[in-house]
Amino acid sequence: MKNKALTYLLTAIAVLVWGGILYQIIKGLGGGKDIIPENTALRQRSTDFNDYALPQDTAHLSLKYPDPFRPVETRPETDIKGDSALSRTPKKAIPPRQDINWGFLTYSGFIKSQQSRSIIALLTIRGNQHQLGEGEMADGVKLIKNEKDSIKVSYEGKTKFIKMHNPYP
């Protein structure tokens, strides 16, 4: 009997909770009175109801700028006398940056030495085959870092990573 009374009590509470939820949903969907906010602009409208009349333009244009399509008139250059800081000095020409063409160098692969456990890179420099370890140099090319899929080399002060050349793409 005790469990039966508790079941009826919990059922009644569940019905009340769900009833409140459904009431709030129905009220939110428009079951109640619709409230229209008052618009003060409607009250201030004139009584002539001419909806097609254009409103008075209150913008003012400032026409104090030069014509963008007129060719620019060049003024003769005048040198300011008495101030050496403002006088024109010729600028030094910056030499063009010399990029290195790395096409003369290809990384063919590597050999792993069994005695010393070091990796020796197989490089082709200007058509000549070379075997280099880290820190070694040949034909001006220094091998800095040897990875299995790429190498880091230095030539004429520039460094670059070069990927392994795959002759069979």
Q: What is the DSSP letter of 1?
A: -
In this structure, is residue 97 part of a structural domain?
A: no
pLDDT band at 41 (very low <50, low <70, confident <90, very high): low
The pLDDT of 27-53, averaged and rounded, is 62
In this structure, is residue 169 part of a structural domain?
A: no
| pLDDT the model gives residue 75 | 61
Count of the separate structural domains present in the chain: 1
Range of the domain at 136: 102-163
pLDDT digits (tens, 9 = 90+) for 54-86: 778 888 888 888 888 888 776 666 555 555 555
What values do phi and psi take at 30, rounded to 5? 120, 20
Distance CA 164, CA 142 (A): 17
Residue 154 identity: S
pLDDT band at 15 (very low <50, low <70, confident <90, very high): very high
| pLDDT the model gives residue 8 | 94
Q: What is the DSSP letter of 167?
A: S
| pLDDT the model gives residue 36 | 61
| pLDDT the model gives residue 76 | 60
In this structure, is residue 135 part of a structural domain?
A: yes
In CATH, what number is assigned to the domain containing residue 149? 2.30.30.830
In this structure, is residue 18 part of a structural domain?
A: no
In this structure, is residue 145 part of a structural domain?
A: yes
In this structure, is residue 35 part of a structural domain?
A: no
Q: What is the DSSP letter of 104?
A: G
In this structure, is residue 131 part of a structural domain?
A: yes
pLDDT digits (tens, 9 = 90+) for 110-139: 888 777 778 888 888 888 888 888 888 888
CA angle 36, 38, 43 (to 5 degrees): 140
